[in-house]
Protein backbone atom coordinates (compact mmCIF):
# COMPACT_ATOMS: atom_id res chain seq x y z
CA UNK A 1 0.00 0.00 0.00
CA UNK A 2 3.00 2.32 0.36
CA UNK A 3 3.17 2.63 -3.42
CA UNK A 4 -0.49 3.65 -3.54
CA UNK A 5 0.12 6.31 -0.88
CA UNK A 6 3.03 7.76 -2.89
CA UNK A 7 0.97 7.75 -6.10
CA UNK A 8 -1.91 9.39 -4.23
CA UNK A 9 0.42 12.05 -2.87
CA UNK A 10 1.63 12.92 -6.37
CA UNK A 11 -1.94 12.95 -7.68
CA UNK A 12 -2.95 15.43 -4.98
CA UNK A 13 0.03 17.60 -5.88
CA UNK A 14 -0.96 17.37 -9.55
CA UNK A 15 -4.56 18.38 -8.87
CA UNK A 16 -3.38 21.24 -6.68
CA UNK A 17 -1.03 22.45 -9.41
CA UNK A 18 -3.82 22.16 -11.98
CA UNK A 19 -6.12 24.19 -9.74
CA UNK A 20 -3.47 26.88 -9.39
CA UNK A 21 -2.97 27.01 -13.16
CA UNK A 22 -6.73 27.35 -13.64
CA UNK A 23 -6.77 30.12 -11.02
CA UNK A 24 -4.00 31.92 -12.90
CA UNK A 25 -5.87 31.53 -16.20
CA UNK A 26 -9.12 32.83 -14.69
CA UNK A 27 -7.26 35.75 -13.13
CA UNK A 28 -5.54 36.66 -16.40
CA UNK A 29 -8.80 36.38 -18.38
CA UNK A 30 -10.86 38.58 -16.08
CA UNK A 31 -8.01 41.02 -15.55
CA UNK A 32 -7.76 41.26 -19.33
CA UNK A 33 -11.48 42.01 -19.55
CA UNK A 34 -11.00 44.72 -16.95
CA UNK A 35 -7.98 46.15 -18.77
CA UNK A 36 -9.86 46.12 -22.08
CA UNK A 37 -12.76 47.91 -20.43
CA UNK A 38 -10.37 50.51 -19.04
CA UNK A 39 -8.87 51.04 -22.50
CA UNK A 40 -12.34 51.65 -23.89
CA UNK A 41 -13.03 54.14 -21.12
CA UNK A 42 -15.68 52.03 -19.38
CA UNK A 43 -14.92 52.18 -15.64
CA UNK A 44 -17.72 49.72 -14.80
CA UNK A 45 -16.23 46.98 -16.96
CA UNK A 46 -12.76 47.72 -15.62
CA UNK A 47 -13.95 47.48 -12.02
CA UNK A 48 -16.07 44.36 -12.63
CA UNK A 49 -13.29 42.58 -14.54
CA UNK A 50 -10.66 43.42 -11.95
CA UNK A 51 -12.91 42.46 -9.06
CA UNK A 52 -13.92 39.18 -10.69
CA UNK A 53 -10.25 38.41 -11.40
CA UNK A 54 -9.35 38.78 -7.75
CA UNK A 55 -12.37 37.01 -6.26
CA UNK A 56 -12.67 34.05 -8.64
CA UNK A 57 -8.92 33.56 -8.93
CA UNK A 58 -8.60 33.56 -5.14
CA UNK A 59 -11.40 31.05 -4.64
CA UNK A 60 -9.97 28.62 -7.20
CA UNK A 61 -6.47 29.02 -5.75
CA UNK A 62 -7.89 28.44 -2.28
CA UNK A 63 -8.97 24.95 -3.34
CA UNK A 64 -5.59 24.15 -4.93
CA UNK A 65 -3.24 24.98 -2.08
CA UNK A 66 -4.69 22.42 0.37
CA UNK A 67 -4.32 19.69 -2.27
CA UNK A 68 -0.64 20.58 -2.62
CA UNK A 69 -0.21 20.42 1.15
CA UNK A 70 -2.08 17.11 1.39
CA UNK A 71 0.13 15.64 -1.31
CA UNK A 72 3.28 16.69 0.53
CA UNK A 73 1.89 15.29 3.77
CA UNK A 74 1.09 11.96 2.12
CA UNK A 75 4.57 11.72 0.60
CA UNK A 76 6.07 12.15 4.07
CA UNK A 77 3.54 9.71 5.62
CA UNK A 78 2.34 12.34 8.09
CA UNK A 79 -0.91 11.68 9.90
CA UNK A 80 -2.05 15.27 9.26
CA UNK A 81 -1.53 14.65 5.53
CA UNK A 82 -3.77 11.59 5.71
CA UNK A 83 -6.53 13.48 7.50
CA UNK A 84 -6.24 16.48 5.20
CA UNK A 85 -6.43 14.24 2.13
CA UNK A 86 -9.53 12.51 3.52
CA UNK A 87 -11.16 15.87 4.18
CA UNK A 88 -10.26 17.08 0.71
CA UNK A 89 -11.68 13.87 -0.72
CA UNK A 90 -15.10 15.12 0.30
CA UNK A 91 -14.45 18.50 -1.38
CA UNK A 92 -12.86 16.96 -4.47
CA UNK A 93 -15.93 14.82 -5.17
CA UNK A 94 -17.50 17.95 -6.65
CA UNK A 95 -14.58 18.62 -9.03
CA UNK A 96 -15.89 16.36 -11.78
CA UNK A 97 -14.30 14.33 -13.38
CA UNK A 98 -10.70 14.46 -12.09
CA UNK A 99 -11.47 15.41 -8.52
CA UNK A 100 -14.19 12.77 -8.29
CA UNK A 101 -11.83 10.03 -9.47
CA UNK A 102 -9.15 11.28 -7.08
CA UNK A 103 -11.65 11.31 -4.21
CA UNK A 104 -12.64 7.69 -4.83
CA UNK A 105 -8.97 6.65 -4.99
CA UNK A 106 -8.22 8.70 -1.86
CA UNK A 107 -10.93 6.94 0.12
CA UNK A 108 -9.89 3.51 -1.15
CA UNK A 109 -6.22 4.01 -0.28
CA UNK A 110 -6.46 5.91 2.99
CA UNK A 111 -9.34 3.98 4.56
CA UNK A 112 -7.70 0.63 3.84
CA UNK A 113 -6.61 -1.24 6.97
CA UNK A 114 -3.18 -1.88 5.48
CA UNK A 115 -2.52 1.84 5.03
CA UNK A 116 -3.12 3.11 8.57
CA UNK A 117 0.12 1.70 10.07
CA UNK A 118 2.19 3.64 7.51
CA UNK A 119 1.30 6.99 9.03
CA UNK A 120 3.03 8.19 12.18
CA UNK A 121 1.28 10.44 14.69
CA UNK A 122 1.79 14.20 14.29
pLDDT in tens, 44-86: 888 888 888 889 889 888 989 999 999 999 999 999 999 999 9
**Residues 92, 33 contacting (CB under 8 angstroms):** no
CA distance 53 to 113: 44
pLDDT at 53: 86
pLDDT at 65: 95
CA distance 53 to 10: 29
Average pLDDT, the chain: 91
CA distance 109 to 38: 50
Domain ranges of the chain: 2-113
**Residues 109, 115 contacting (CB under 8 angstroms):** yes
CA distance 69 to 78: 11
pLDDT at 122: 55
Amino acid sequence: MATHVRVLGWLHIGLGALDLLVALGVFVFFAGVGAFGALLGDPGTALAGGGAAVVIGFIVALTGIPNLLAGMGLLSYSSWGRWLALLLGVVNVFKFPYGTALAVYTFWVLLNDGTRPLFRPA
